[in-house]
Structure 1
Amino acid sequence: MKQLVLSMIAYAVQRDADMVQLCKLSGIDVAALKKQHAAPVSAQQLQDLWLNASRLTNDPLFGLHFGESLQPAALGIVGQIIQSSATVGEAITHAAALTHLVTDLVRMEISRSSKAFAVKLIPAQDHGATPPFAFRQLIDLLMVMVIHELDGLLLEKITPEAVRLAYTVPDPAEYERVFRCKPIKRNGEYALVFDIKYWEEPLLTANYELQELLLRKVSSMPQPVPDSQNLQTRIYNYLIANSYLGVSSLDDIAANFNVSPRSLQRKLKEEGVKYQDIADAVRRSLAVYYISSGNYPLKDISWMLGYNELSAFTRAFKRWTGSTPVNYQSL
């Protein structure tokens, strides 16, 4: 819970919220929270944090977008269970048992049929058709994290067969973009349904090691100082931290920064840069980092950067560096 709260504050700051104001309004002492034996965050503090983070970032879908930004954190959760799991099904089952480490407001249950498996979030208390704002944000966050955990386990973007929520979503198009599936209102139910074919898929240790490599790169980056950052730097840092399955599109970045694609392009133009320039800089940085680490097939690195064909990655790498990946490896 402590790490979740710290991550939430960091994401709000990335979205231009004032950390001092956010913590003061929410009754949270960040310095105390970072200590090893910090007192737990109360339910009221957490509720206030959701409300204030949403208000200060001017984003009523803060939980949804926060979940979308938590890909490396979600992979970290996978990392805790991957050693004892041989398949996706085992990993998801073990993850369900660890839900209490994140929140005690819901528990996770897994059900299977011959055609699909479902990940269900069961509230500790019945909120009816109009659950509190903070609870809806938490549900959005957890459901997006489940999808990203599956992405990380399989190293591909997984599309749910169905997304069921007990409340009417305020922005159906944005929920569909993030969930990759149109959400359906189903009274009393919070569930993600996936094709059963993924259940027995083996976990790929080499892929996980590549993801861990990315996390180490992200953690070694200097911590940003939001007030001193221009937009292109903030976008670069965001892409670096969320590029383990390819670099996000302009539309996805615009939605996560709570602006229209056109507005984002205009603001970047004022800084003298295009979004494609930033995206290519991220791909180049990650490509060089992965190749320099050694011991990883170029095919896997190509997949990690979102290229379906090794030849496409090779052409791009030569454009960035003047050398092919194979030649760069031998330097």
Structure 2
Amino acid sequence: MQRELLAKNHISPQILQSTTARVPAENYANLLRDTMQEMDDELMGYGSLPQKLGCWTTMVELAANSNTLGEALKKLTRFYRLITWGLETRLSRDDSGNAFLSLNHSNQQDHPAQFDPYLYESFLFYIHRTANWLIGRQIPLHAVDFCFAETTHRSVYWDMYFCKDIYFQQPVSQLRFSASMLDLPVTKSAQAINAFLNHVNQAMITQVYAQKSWHYRVSTQLESRLQSNPSFSEFAKGFNLHPHTLRSYLRDEGFQYQEIKDRVRRDSAIFHLSSQGKSVEETATLTGFSEASAFIRAFKKWTGNTPIHYKRTS
């Protein structure tokens, strides 16, 4: 069944052997949806007990009918405390103006002391993205805490949470943010709720509210200029900035230009190969490489696999 689901969503089984492999967001979102439906479990086996399909939909409908984000998140945390899945959700704040949305282990003896990191990562990801959607803007996170040891895929957390302060082996897994965000209004029409719930995984995975960050602005400009492969100086001129100034802005957000460029090239290449059916040679040109051989070497460095593994065959 695993191979059937992968084939259905145009994902090669070979790339699963690599810790640096990447797939298009749409394919991944569809795979998550199909796996949940096949297992009839929204936690896909990661919780102590299956979570029936429709739990997240019910929670979103309840949360969306709130006046403020704080009210919505209180409903969310109450809802998931009623479900037996091994963790309890809590919303709290301190006297310094900080808010915390945490995952605490249930006290029941039949629950393991700690689950697979994916459960904590994915649930906090979905909570954050849903909260963003509820207020129509990105909620800046002060930090993300995890109760497990540092992972080999730490670099992907920026893409997930847009936060560079990630801490491991903490007492609880949680999101930390400004308590002032809890007072922001929730205004979602029935039509907006239905559109969001039509494909929740895709809506949250492809969500973008970070337009004001330099990382996002540089990434967006790179996507449209990859084929011409501009130098950094030429690129900075497009923002009417001196190259040193742009490098400083990116560094303040925890990024380097080459790191962003490699990521945009990688994601664009995967899209052209697996979603558009482009050849390796065409993809090399579209991502700014003058030779296919140089593209293949770079692609293998980025993903751990050669481009042919991502080539869509149907």
Q: TM-score if structure 1 supplies the norm length?
A: 0.46
Higher relative contact order (CA 8 A, sep 6+): 2
More helix by share: 1
